Structure formats: structure tokens, C-alpha cells
């Protein structure tokens, strides 16, 4: 009597080609803000880098206490925006808060450059923050996100 393992059984070349053609890409997560998708119920991030960028943007825009069960999740930039006095002071505080939150929640990201631009629309003041970063474990070149926040 002979015994064989099913782990050693392969597929035919025709089956491999057919599977490769019909293979569907598994999404990494739902894109935020939530939108209706064309093929899925919600629009999804189809690559790991778009999911990382989406998560990073959410980390920057989230303030402490806004995430259920994770009180200290986020960069908590509201405290800096509400005590806004000086552009340079804002930049140094914002960079410190962002680097601390990235170190805690997304340590696989290396922050590279930071730039901010203040502008006024009617009587409201806004700051546009652009952050470039790399993900060394994925051998990815520099990527950037941009967020706009209202100065209170």
C-alpha cells in the first residue's frame, strides 16, 4: 500500500493560466471617506500603498478621543490649531505630534519632508500640510499626502 501527500499534487498548466486570467485582486480596505464603488459595494484600496496613504491621512486628521477604544490614536493637531499664535511655532509642534503618532501607530513609515501653507478664505484661516514619506519594508520611493485643516 502506498501513501501520498496531497501537498505534492500540482495543477495543470492550463488550469494555472485560467486561474491567472480569472484571478480577482483582493482589496486591502475601504477607502475613506466612504464612497459607493463601481464593482464593490464601497470603493476599496486595491494596493497596499494606497491603503497606507489612506491610513496615514486618517492618523494625521484624527484627534485624541475621536477613536473608540483608542483614546490616544491620532496626531491630535486640534490642540495646536486652537492655540495658534505663530506659523513657526505651529510647524514645530505639528511636526513633533505627527512624528510621535507615526512612531506609535505606523512605525513602518519613515517621515521625510514637511511643508505647511497658511491661507485665508473669507474670515476663516486654513493650513495645508504636505508630508512626504517612504515605506522601506516595501521598497517604495517617496510618497506624499496633503491635508487641509481649519485654524480655530
Q: Residues in the chain, how many?
A: 152
Global pTM exceeds 0.85: no
| Cα 5 from Cα 102, distance rounded (Å) | 46
Task: Please tell me the distance from the alpha carbon of residue 102 to that of residue 35, in angstroms, as a whole number.
Answer: 26
Q: Which of 58, 116, 42 is nearest to 86 (CA)?
A: 116
pLDDT the model gives residue 97: 95
Q: In this predicted structure, what is the pLDDT of residue 151?
A: 85
Domains of the chain: 77-151 (3.30.360)
pLDDT digits (tens, 9 = 90+) for 36-77: 877 668 888 888 899 999 999 999 999 999 889 999 999 999
> Which sign does the torsion angle of CA 72, 77, 81, 84 carry?
positive
Q: Which residues contact 74 (CB under 8 A, 6 or more apart)?
A: 59, 60, 61, 62, 63, 64, 66, 67, 101
- What are 110-149's pLDDT values in tens digits? 999 999 999 999 888 899 999 999 999 887 788 999 999 9
Report pLDDT for 108: 93
Q: Which one is predicted more confidently, 143 or 84? A: 143
Contact in structure between 143 and 133 (CB atoms under 8 Å): yes
Amino acid at each position: 500500500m502506498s501513501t501520498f501527500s496531497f501537498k505534492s499534487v500540482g495543477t495543470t498548466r492550463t488550469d494555472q493560466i485560467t486561474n491567472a486570467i480569472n484571478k480577482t485582486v483582493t482589496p486591502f480596505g475601504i477607502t475613506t471617506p466612504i464612497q459607493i464603488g463601481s464593482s464593490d459595494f464601497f470603493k476599496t484600496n486595491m494596493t497596499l500603498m494606497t491603503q497606507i496613504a489612506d491610513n496615514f491621512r486618517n492618523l494625521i486628521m484624527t484627534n485624541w478621543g475621536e477613536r473608540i477604544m483608542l483614546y490616544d490614536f491620532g496626531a491630535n493637531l486640534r490642540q495646536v490649531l486652537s492655540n495658534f499664535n505663530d506659523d513657526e511655532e505651529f510647524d514645530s509642534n505639528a511636526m513633533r505630534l505627527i512624528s510621535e503618532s507615526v512612531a506609535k501607530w505606523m512605525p513602518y513609515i519613515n517621515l521625510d519632508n514637511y511643508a505647511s501653507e497658511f491661507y485665508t478664505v473669507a474670515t476663516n484661516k486654513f493650513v495645508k500640510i504636505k508630508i512626504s514619506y517612504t515605506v522601506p519594508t516595501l521598497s517604495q520611493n517617496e510618497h506624499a499626502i496633503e491635508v487641509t485643516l481649519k485654524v480655530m
